[in-house]
Amino acid sequence: MNLLRGVCIALCLFFPPLLAAASDDQSHKASSCVPLNSWLQPGLTTEIDEPMVLVQAQLNNVVLLGEHHDNQSHHDWQLRMLQALHQVQPKLVIGLEMLPRVVQPKIDRFLRGESTVELFLKEVEWQRYWSFSADYYIPLMVYAREQNIPMVALNVTRAKVNEAVDQGWAFVPDGMTVPTQATRPYIRHLVVSFQRHKFPGVKLDMAVEGPAFRRFVQKQLLWDRAMAEGIRAQLDAPQKAPMVVAFIGSGHLMYGYGVPHQLQSLGVEKVMTMIPWDRHLDCRVLVNGFADVVYGAE
């Protein structure tokens, strides 16, 4: 895929970072820009009530619940939101970023009560496919089983992703289509993230000129596309899900660049994005379009 090699450098050098991390002296300010346990619509200063958030959610076919994977308060909030959404839409389906589709039979077996939590984690090879502790997600999975809520894996294995990136989009995993090209703002978003996490201390122009960044973008796009197609599959299934509630890292959701962009290209338009605030984010990112609603988590 052409990643606009020359354009990337211009974009990254002349636009400010979209996800600047808050410095220590900004932490208090960052944690207070979304008051604890409150809801805000980015771009507006007035708080909104949670009942209104739930009313808005009912108008959508897809609700995307963001998370910072190692923030326990985010997972506590996600479970509470799932319970609230389940009350208003009993036939919803849960979508998980954390697991690839190949383990779906093992998920179904767990949901039928045919395996314990410990056996389930072993059968789905949790540590192989997800680097964060299963303890964050066990309450969600147990709730799904207790309430007979379908739960589906949205992703593909990293091996499949690497194969497509190495050999070209003709080798995208079976059943998938080629991702819609990243927007210029998403490229800017990704280059800052890439430079911060992959090449600390390396100049931006050096990072984005190399093949490692192009691979990073391609992998991100394929990851986004896999999740979007997994969600759409539930909406298009013979027994159509009236709502899919998906648990996905906030980086795939912010500003609508990742999964929401791919969903839109697939014709899925009734999508609501909820992101729990994180005190490590800079308040300057909280602008119109950041998400539909933001929740003040710890």
pLDDT tens digit sequence for 220-249: 999 999 999 999 999 999 889 999 999 999
Residue 189 pLDDT exceeds 60: yes
Residue 58 pLDDT exceeds 90: yes
- For residues 17-34, give the mean pLDDT: 51
Residue 292: φ, ψ to 5°: -70, -45
Q: Which of 2-16, 89-103, 266-280, 284-298 has the lowest mean pLDDT?
A: 2-16
- Domain spans of the chain, in order of start: 5-295
Predicted pLDDT of residue 1: 37
Predicted pLDDT of residue 199: 58
The overall pTM is greater than 0.95:
no
Fold topology of 5-295? Rossmann fold (3.40.50)
Which is higher by pLDDT, 178 or 11? Answer: 178
Predicted pLDDT of residue 172: 81
DSSP 60-117: -SEEEE---TT-HHHHHHHHHHHHHHHHH-TT-EEEEEEEEGGGHHHHHHHHTT-S-H
pLDDT tens digit sequence for 74-122: 999 999 999 999 999 999 999 999 999 999 999 999 999 999 999 999 9
Token code pair at residue 91: 């036939």
